[in-house]
Amino acid sequence: MCIFNLAKKSHMKTRIQQCIIICLFCLNASSQNNSRKPILDPANKEGSAIKSAEFTLKCAGEITTPSADLKWRPGLITKCIGKEHSFPEEELIKKMKAEKTALKLASSQNKYSAIEKAAGNITPIVGTNFLGNTNNGGSPMDNSIAISDGGWIVSVANTTIEYDDENGTNAYFNTITSFFNDNSISSVCDPVVIYDSGADRFIFFAQECSGASGNSFLLICFSKSNNPNDGWWKYKLTGNPLNNSKWFDYPKLAVSTNELYISGNLFSNSPGSVFSTAVLYQIQKTNGFTGGTFNYQYWTGMTGSPFTVLPLSNGQQGNYGPGCYLVSTIPGGGNTVKLYDLTDDMSAANEQLNYYSVPTTSYAPAGDASQLGTTCLLDNGDCRTLSGFYLNGTIHFVFHSDIGGGWNGINYNRLNVNTKTNQSTKFGFAGDSDYSYPSVCSYATSAMDAAVMIGFGRCGANMYPEVRVAHCDNNLNWSSSVLIKSSASYVTYTSTSKERWGDYTGITRRHNSTRPSVWASGMYGTSNKLWNTWVAEVHDNDIYAELNENSFNRTEMKLYPNPVIDNFTLEFNLDQKTDLQIDIKDMNGKLIKQLYKGFGNVGGNVFSFNKANLSEGIYFLVISNQNNIIKNEKISIHN
């Protein structure tokens, strides 16, 4: 087991300062919107996993990020092409995909009349957008993105890291090897960055990628504040926890109220790299944010033998816990989803990692994607879980799968942890193009609303690779997809027959935005046939987003309690006597009930209403004047 010492001993003054920081951090964390995770009935579990002993890990030092010469974007680039592995059902999947690809190539394009089915009222709108991490000699770029409540964006891709503000002004760019500054690390890949909204901090991960157990490390960095320019604390953890000639790959990250989770797959040494087992690291995170020593343990031997298991953070502001949920799909396809419940924090001592099999609609891999202007295909990979989150009793997750005729589309799922049932819906354009490598985040102002935004890549014989986004509302109605960034050319790095398209891509929620807002990062092709990434803010055309509020002052309006259990009260001030109509409308703008029609008086107005027979859900309380909407508030009805 590799344990590393602090770079230098701290003086008493520094230790006192750290203690103060810890106290402030704990106070801040305790004030966040944390929710308790429902406990699944262990009597119904189908198995569990093997827990390790508990270990400690010391901080490996500080990372300061001084301003660099951004015009020249300095840094030694190490070429990093996707690694080859052997995993369960690999040969069967390759055969299945080859057959479906051949059928697609043999058929004429636009054979089907189907188009994207758009039933929702929300249309994504691309706001601020700009160049992200540029080509670094690697394919795929494995891009990931996070944004803090302070508005700082951290964007990573394969071997580089950068910071940008919300206007796209770049404050820092460097290679990850230079950023981490450890002479024993010569090659990195598979970076992931997340924002812990409960702690108001970033967590950044990358792995050493030599494919050898003796040099397999997990590089973990905790930001000192919600501004990455303030610096980081760094840790280096072994990627061979069983000390049995295995190395770590395919990382996924999540946080709960008290812990950080890093999952991955363990492979035997190259050449060959045969899959051995999935692994989950369970880390006490608080000391990581202060540069202290933290405790951790790991889990292996998971029932169900998952390949790439996804831990899940909370989908909106704050965290949940103790423990966390995880989900996994079958790479070669199937009709079940693997659900895992980590029952408690590691401090509980009796925590379990329990397994449940959840039935779902059948899914299977599709063929690879064509590109305009070349016979070089884009590899669509398989059906492993790519992205997800947990919110209000539901796990939201996405992957891509066959939507008909061997064409790839988005497979979006909502798994109810209490009933262990799963809803799935597919989205794409069979016969025209492939939709692949989706990522998902919550797009709602209430935990009762299940609406999401999903970013993804799209490509076909009539187009170059594209970055796109689509909205799926509370009732599983899809918008049409919207273009974020098109390519200048097809992409080919290492082969004229098939090119890697991705392991994952990124989308993240801006948690403290006054209205839903997300940031996406995706890959597009440059004129020299290589990948770059593009970063974009995405919001919507919500029919209640832009309002005429001449008669109202937003700070003078109150709606309480919200959520509503029985009665609720509306208070507001008017500058002049005004005709008013107060309505309850659903998420699609349909009138549900008229609450009031008459005059509003100058000064304070107070209205009290009863929820009556309104069903549980999210509604709009809309105040209008002569058919002009002058105020609205989302209202959550609980039964």
Q: For residue 275, which of 238, 310, 252, 250 has the smallest C-alpha distance?
A: 250
Q: What confidence category does residue 233 fall into, taking pLDDT thresholds of 50, 70 and 90? A: very high
Averaged pLDDT of the chain: 86
150 and 255 assigned to the same domain = yes
Beta-bridge partner residues of 134? none
| Residue of 259 and 629 predicted with greater confidence | 259
CATH of the domain at 515: 2.130.10.10
* Residue that is last in its domain, among 507, 540, 573: 540
Query: Percent of the chain beyond pLDDT 70?
Result: 86
472 and 588 assigned to the same domain = no
Burial of 509 (0-12, 13-18, 19+ CB in 10 A): buried
Q: What is the DSSP string of 222-286?
A: EESSSSGGG-EEEEEEES-TT-SSEEEEEEEEEE-SSEEEEEEEEEEPTTT-BEEEEEEEEEE-G
Q: For residue 457, which of 400, 416, 516 has the smallest C-alpha distance?
A: 400
Range of the domain at 598: 554-637
Q: What confidence category does residue 46 fall into, taking pLDDT thresholds of 50, 70 and 90? A: very high
528 and 585 assigned to the same domain = no
- Which residue reads 């008290």 in tokens? 258
90 and 151 assigned to the same domain = yes
572 and 530 assigned to the same domain = no
Flag the least confident range among 84-88, 124-128, 482-486.
84-88
Q: How many domains is the chain built from?
A: 2
pLDDT at 2 over 60: no
- Which residue reads 């008013």 in tokens? 580
Residue 24: partners with Cβ closer than 8 Å, 6 or more residues away: none
pLDDT for residue 36: 86
For 557-587, write each residue's pLDDT tens digit. Answer: 788 888 888 888 888 887 777 778 888 888 7
Residue 396: partners with Cβ closer than 8 Å, 6 or more residues away: 315, 388, 389, 390, 412, 413, 414, 415, 440, 442, 450, 452
Q: Model's pTM, two decimal places?
A: 0.81
Give the mean model confidence (pLDDT) for residues 405-425.
96
For 18-39, write each residue's pLDDT tens digit. Answer: 444 444 444 444 334 678 899 8
For 503-541, write each residue's pLDDT tens digit. Answer: 888 999 998 876 788 999 999 999 999 999 999 999 886
Residue 602: partners with Cβ closer than 8 Å, 6 or more residues away: 574, 575, 576, 577
Whole-number Å distance between alpha carbons of 358 and 313: 20
Q: What confidence category does residue 626 fall into, taking pLDDT thresholds of 50, 70 and 90? A: low
Q: What confidence category does residue 420 fall into, taking pLDDT thresholds of 50, 70 and 90? A: very high
pLDDT at 547 over 90: no
| Residue of 383 and 140 predicted with greater confidence | 383
Whole-number Å distance between alpha carbons of 421 and 356: 11
For 354-367, write each residue's pLDDT tens digit. Answer: 999 999 999 999 99
530 and 623 assigned to the same domain = no
CB neighbours (10 Å) of residue 638? 13
pLDDT at 424 over 80: yes
E strand or H helix at 101, and its extent? helix 90-106
615 and 499 assigned to the same domain = no
Residues in the chain: 639
Angular region, 196: left φ>0, alpha ψ -120 to 50, beta rest: beta
- Which residue reads 């799909």 in tokens? 329
Whole-number Å distance between alpha carbons of 576 and 569: 21
Whole-number Å distance between alpha carbons of 247 and 240: 5
181 lies in some domain: yes
497 and 355 assigned to the same domain = yes
18 lies in some domain: yes
Whole-number Å distance between alpha carbons of 371 and 474: 34
625 lies in some domain: yes
Q: Which two tokens stand for residue 461?
A: 């014989």
Flag the least confident range among 5-9, 184-188, 233-237, 344-348.
5-9
Preceding peptide of 331 cis, ω within 30°: no
590 lies in some domain: yes
* Residue that is last in its domain, among 540, 563, 592: 540
pLDDT for residue 491: 93
pLDDT for residue 66: 64
What ranges make up the beta strands (E) of 444-490?
Answer: 452-460, 463-472, 482-486
Whole-number Å distance between alpha carbons of 154 and 133: 10
| Residue of 553 and 406 predicted with greater confidence | 406
Backbone dihedral angles phi then psi of residue 51, each to the nearest 5 degrees: -95, 140
Whole-number Å distance between alpha carbons of 103 and 122: 35
204 and 301 assigned to the same domain = yes
Flag the least confident range among 86-95, 219-228, 237-246, 417-426.
86-95
Backbone dihedral angles phi then psi of residue 127, each to the nearest 5 degrees: -95, -130
pLDDT for residue 628: 64
Q: What confidence category does residue 135 fall into, taking pLDDT thresholds of 50, 70 and 90? A: confident
For 65-122, write each residue's pLDDT tens digit. Answer: 765 444 444 444 444 445 556 667 888 999 999 999 998 888 755 444 456 777 777 8
Whole-number Å distance between alpha carbons of 73 and 578: 59
109 lies in some domain: yes
Q: Which two tokens stand for residue 436?
A: 């692949």
pLDDT at 332 over 90: yes
457 lies in some domain: yes
614 lies in some domain: yes
CA-derived radius of gyration, the chain: 25
CATH of the domain at 604: 2.60.40.1930
Burial of 627 (0-12, 13-18, 19+ CB in 10 A): exposed
Cα torsion through 223, 457, 254, 24, rounded to 10: 30
- Which residue reads 């590799």 in tokens? 2
Q: For residue 516, which of 456, 554, 471, 466 has the smallest C-alpha distance?
A: 471
481 lies in some domain: yes
pLDDT for residue 627: 54
E strand or H helix at 21, and its extent? helix 12-30
457 and 597 assigned to the same domain = no
Q: What confidence category does residue 215 fall into, taking pLDDT thresholds of 50, 70 and 90? A: confident
- Let me know the angle formed at the C-alpha of 571 by 565 and 576, rounded to the nearest 5 degrees: 150
604 and 530 assigned to the same domain = no
* Residue that is last in its domain, among 481, 509, 540: 540
Q: Are 319 and 194 in contact (CB under 8 A)?
A: no
484 and 574 assigned to the same domain = no
Give the mean model confidence (pLDDT) for residues 586-612.
81
pLDDT at 555 over 50: no
Flag the least confident range among 172-186, 335-349, 433-447, 503-517.
503-517
